[in-house]
């Protein structure tokens, strides 16, 4: 359990990064455009009546890969469990027109939606910390696991469970008894 806790902390650097969606997935370029995309209000509203953000120039994002893909997946899943990152721009702008700390991610609906992926995530070493190799493999936290997820994630600080996978694997590739949680810092 202590190893799992270290993993979560190592993945929480994205609390300030941005994430938004548009209705149709645009093609991502091999590299980001020189002109940064900006967050704008869409015509859609959430349950509380607030306008949902989107990007004004989705085609300005470059492909997101490697460790940045993992961080982006967490940023996107903070918004909704069925999202993953498909693009990144290092100079993406917030609604105020200022560059967002950490850049911005273009989020898109995962092929498996809120369901966990058939290929379980595994803990890996990331320098001196532990990380999940594929955060997007996590599904939504089931109602039956929410209390346990809250306990596990809050035990490492001010974190909440944003994902769950019943087949999560430890560093040696063995299944973690009871599954694993993807935790993110509360903001």
Tell me the C-alpha distance between 49 and 18, whole Å. 20
Find where tokens 């089931």 sit.
142
Cβ–Cβ under 8 Å, residues 39 and 54? yes
| Backbone CA torsion sign across 46, 22, 36, 77 | positive
Is residue 16 pLDDT above 60, yes or no?
no
Neighbours of 48 (CB within 10 A): 5
- What does the pLDDT read at residue 56? 93
Is the backbone of residue 111 left (phi > 0), alpha (psi -120 to 50) or beta? alpha
Q: Which of 47-61, 85-99, 116-130 has the highest mean pLDDT?
A: 85-99
Which of 36-45, 47-56, 163-172 has the weakest average pLDDT?
47-56
pLDDT classification of 111: cutoffs 50, 70, 90: confident
Tell me the C-alpha distance between 24 and 26, whole Å. 6
Tell me the C-alpha distance between 62 and 80, whole Å. 22
pLDDT of 112-138, one tens digit each? 889 999 999 999 998 888 889 999 999
pLDDT classification of 27: cutoffs 50, 70, 90: low
- What does the pLDDT read at residue 99? 96
- What does the pLDDT read at residue 26? 56
151 Cβ contact list (under 8 Å, min separation 6): none
Cβ–Cβ under 8 Å, residues 26 and 59? yes
**What's the whole-number mean pLDDT along residues 94-115?**
92
How far, in Å, are 1, 16, 37, 136, 161 from residue 27 at the CA level? 40, 25, 15, 19, 31
Domain boundaries, the chain: 2-10+114-185, 13-109
Alpha helices in the chain (DSSP H): 2-10, 66-79, 146-154
What is the residue-averaged pLDDT of the chain?
84
pLDDT of 40-51, one tens digit each? 988 887 778 888
**What's the whole-number mean pLDDT along residues 89-114?**
93
**What's the whole-number mean pLDDT along residues 153-166?**
93
Is residue 5 pLDDT above 50, yes or no?
no
């Amino acid at each position: 359990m202590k190893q799992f806790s270290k993993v979560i902390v190592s993945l929480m650097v994205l609390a300030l990064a941005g994430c938004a969606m548009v209705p149709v997935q645009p093609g991502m370029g091999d590299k980001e455009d020189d002109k940064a995309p900006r967050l704008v209000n869409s015509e859609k509203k959430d349950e509380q009546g607030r306008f949902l953000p989107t990007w004004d120039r989705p085609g300005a994002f470059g492909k997101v890969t490697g460790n940045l893909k993992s961080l982006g997946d967490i940023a996107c899943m903070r918004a909704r469990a069925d999202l993953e990152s498909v693009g990144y721009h290092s100079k993406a702008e917030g609604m105020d027109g200022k560059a967002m700390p950490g850049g911005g991610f273009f989020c898109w609906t995962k092929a498996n939606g809120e369901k966990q992926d058939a290929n379980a995530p595994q803990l890996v070493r990331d320098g001196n910390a532990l990380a999940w190799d594929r955060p997007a493999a996590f599904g939504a936290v089931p109602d039956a696991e929410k209390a346990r997820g809250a306990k596990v994630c809050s035990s490492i600080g001010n974190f909440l469970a944003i994902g769950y996978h019943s087949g999560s694997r430890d560093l040696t590739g063995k299944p973690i008894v009871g599954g694993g949680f993807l935790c993110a810092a509360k903001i």
